[in-house]
Structure 1
Amino acid sequence: MSFYTWRMEKVKRYGVVIFLALFCAILMWIGQMGQLPVFSNDGEPKALSQGSEEQPYIALTFNISWGNEKVNDILDKLETHQTKATFFLSGSWAERHQDIVEAIHEDKHEIAMTGYEYESYTEMEPEEIRRDIQKAKEVFEKLGFEDINYIRPPHGHLNEEILAAIEQEGLETVQWSLNPRDWENPGTNTIIDQIMGTGSKGDIILLHASDSVKQTAKALEVIIPGLKQKGLEFVTITELVSGGKAKITQE
């Protein structure tokens, strides 16, 4: 092999090494960007999707927009296992079921909102979104809940305009990192397996307590003690946020 060829091969090898090093550095930088403070506002509104992986915290969250037959079973399971959760309620549902809202509060669960009508915000203008949120605020204030901080947009539908409108109303957007789609009633074991198989530190679990769910309460009998055996502690969204940094998402 000539000296020139040897030099070219050496340059190629070093070039590959340098490229890989730069690639790894970029990946590390992206990873660090994913650990911005919770709801950090660097000019763009954000949504919380997962808590810190440095703390053994996990959050159970329940959406309710209609019905009153399933929620009490779920509250009973949470009480039996001494587990806290965060309930995202539509204002119209809370208005119709004030006694259940009070029961949720008395059981020391956190109350958050999904707006008033539970209609997709992607179909609304920003001003309509704000009016829906304001109407929900009025309902919860009348029920004695003046300090609601979190909202989950109806159906989880989200974009930059929705995030901006929510921020203007002084609320923080919360989504999820783990969704077994319990409202589809895929089977109790399927719900259990999805949560137990991937549930870990910082997860926000999306479940439902509307009348559409037929298997969620039974699944909780296994999920709650199972996740506790993994060393995880159930906390509210407020506690998850205050426990450290959290991953954020932007639509």
Structure 2
Amino acid sequence: MNFFFVLNGKTLKQLAIVVTTAFFAAWFLYVGNIVHLPAFSAKVGPKAIYKGEKDLALTFNIGWGDEKAEPILDILKKENVKSATFFLAGSWAERHPDLVARIVKEGYEIGILGYNYEDYTELEEQKIRQDIAKAQDAFNKLNVKDIKLIRAPTGHFDQKTLKVAERLGYTVVHWSLDSKDWTNPGIDVIIKNTDQAQKGDILLLHASDSAKQTAKALPQIIQGVNSKNLKFVSVSEMIANAETKTSEVK
């Protein structure tokens, strides 16, 4: 038995509209994917680590202020969190040597957050190199040596940044989970943003004075991670002898 589909002129017109609409929708999705592909492609070249395969790395950025860092350190101690990574701006470290010394004494890892708070994607290679070197010198004077990790001050970086960091012996570390605490959206929102934490995540938090709600949210964030039987590790511990996910940025 044969089946025939009879299309009149009106039906053909409607079909043409549907096909055309579908074509342009597919095109826009394709173009959107092209725009984002370079950030997570797997081509050869320097890469930034943003995720591991097990445990969870708690990371804090500190660029300025002298009020929020100490309460956060107090909470970590109270909650018995023995491993975390603090990315510190060199200029902040120079102004707060006692806090830097406490971070080291309590066994937490230190990474570089540049020296000044500048967007590396807007700087020439020489300027990036000078900023990192200035931060390195600041930490050397504080007797904090052998730092291997670096994070772009504003979170923005490109292939140029990665090349400079690699030549200076640093690994660029991004994050896979952003608490968005720096926007001060409310304690409940910060906690909700971290509820999806999974093994291998690198969690971004802040201990600068601009992050006014982080300390209050931190105990529940820690309890949430503990409830998932995830172990807190430093970034270096996470990437040592383990598979990591990297991103290549052009």
TM-score bracket, normalised by the shorter chain, equals 0.7 to 0.9
Distance 2:128 2:166 in 1: 11
Alignment partner of 1:155: what SS? coil
Number of residue pairs the alignment of both structures matches: 211
- The equivalences for 1:24-173 within 5 A come to 43-52=44-53, 55=54, 57-83=55-81, 84-173=83-172
CA distance in 1, matches of 2:211, 2:153: 17
Match of 2:218 among 217, 220, 231: 220
Cα shift readout 1:29-48 (whole Å, capped 9, x = no counterpart): xxxxx8x8xxxxx7400000
Within-5 A mapping of 1:181-192: 181-192=180-191
Percent of matched pairs sharing the same residue? 48
Give 1:115 deviation, angstroms. Answer: 1.1
Task: State the superposition RMSD in angstroms.
Answer: 1.6
**Partner in structure 1 of residue 23 of structure 2:** none
1:243 shift after superposition: 4.9
Shift of 1:185: 0.5
Which one of the candidate residues 197, 205, 208 is aligned to 1:207?
205
**Aligned 8 A contact 2:149 2:172 in 1:** yes
Q: 1:116 to 1:48 in 2, by over 3 A?
A: same
- How far is 1:214 from its partner? 1.3
> Aligned-pair distance for 1:122?
1.3
Which residue of structure 2 aligns with residue 9 of structure 1? none
The runs of 4+ residues in structure 1 deviating greater than 6 Å are none
Distance 2:69 2:241 in 1: 28
Offset at residue 218 of structure 1 (A): 1.1
Does the CA contact (< 8 Å) of 2:180 and 2:193 recur in 1? no
User: Can you give the 5+ residue segments of structure 1 that lack an aligned partner in the other structure?
Assistant: 3-33, 37-41
Q: Distance in 1 between matches of 2:125 and 2:96?
A: 28
CA distance in 2, matches of 1:92, 1:205: 24
**How far apart, CA to CA, are the structure 1 residues paired with 2:224 and 2:145?**
35
Task: Give the TM-score of the pair, scaled to structure 2.
Answer: 0.81
Question: d(CA) in 1 for partners of 2:51 and 2:167?
Answer: 22
Specify the alignment match of 1:25 in structure 2: none
Distance (Å, rounded) in 1 between the aligned partners of 2:164 and 2:221: 35
TM-score by length of 1: 0.81
Residue 138 of structure 1 and its aligned partner are, at CA, apart by 0.7
For residues 131 and 94 of structure 2, the distance between their equivalents in structure 1, rounded to whole angstroms, comes to 14
Alpha-carbon distance between aligned partners in 2 of 1:82 and 1:147, rounded to the nearest angstrom = 26
In structure 2, the partner of 1:6 is none
- Deviations along 1:6-54, one digit per CA (max 9) or x if unpaired, are xxxxxxxxxxxxxxxxxxxxxxxxxxxx8x8xxxxx74000000011xx
Q: Distance in 2 between matches of 1:222 and 1:98?
A: 29
1:12 alignment partner in structure 2: none
Structure 2 stretches lacking a partner, 5+ long: 3-39
1:224 Cα deviation after fit: 0.5
